[in-house]
Amino acid sequence: MPSINEDVSIGNLGSLQTLPDSFTWKLTAADSILPPSSAAVKESIPVIDLSDPDVTNLLGNACKTWGAFQIANHGVSQSLLDDVESLSKTFFDMPSERKLEAASSNKGVSGYGEPRISLFFEKKMWSEGLTIADGSYRNQFLTIWPRDYTKYCGIIEEYKGEMEKLASRLLSCILGSLGVTVDDIEWAKKTEKSESKMGQSVIRLNHYPVCPEPERAMGLAAHTDSCLLTILHQSNMGGLQVFKEESGWVTVEPIPGVLVVNIGDLFHILSNGKFPSVVHRARVNRTKSRISIAYLWGGPAGEVEISPISKIVGPVGPCLYRPVTWSEYLRIKFEVFDKALDAIRVVNATN
Cβ–Cβ < 8 Å for 140, 110: yes
The whole-angstrom separation of Cα 26 and Cα 253 is: 25
What is the number of other CB atoms lying within 10 angstroms of the CB of residue 71? 25
Give CA separation, 137 vs 45, 112, 146, 153, in Å. 33, 10, 13, 9
The whole-angstrom separation of Cα 93 and Cα 87 is: 10
Which residues does 341 contact at the CB level (< 8 Å), separation at least 6?
A: 265, 268, 269, 277, 321
206, containing H or E segment: strand 201-208
Q: In Å, how far from its chain's centre is CA 206?
A: 10
Cβ–Cβ < 8 Å for 88, 103: no
Instruction: Calculate ∠ Cα 257-144-2, nearest 5°.
Output: 85
The whole-angstrom separation of Cα 221 and Cα 109 is: 19
Catalytic residue among 290, 322, 331, 345: 290
Which residues does 52 contact at the CB level (< 8 Å), separation at least 6?
A: 58
Cβ–Cβ < 8 Å for 159, 203: yes
Cβ–Cβ < 8 Å for 233, 255: no
| Residue 116 bears catalytic tag | no
The whole-angstrom separation of Cα 128 and Cα 282 is: 12
Half-sphere exposure of 142 (CA within 13 A, CB side): 5
Cβ–Cβ < 8 Å for 62, 229: no
Cβ–Cβ < 8 Å for 112, 90: no
Q: Which residues are catalytically annotated?
A: 290
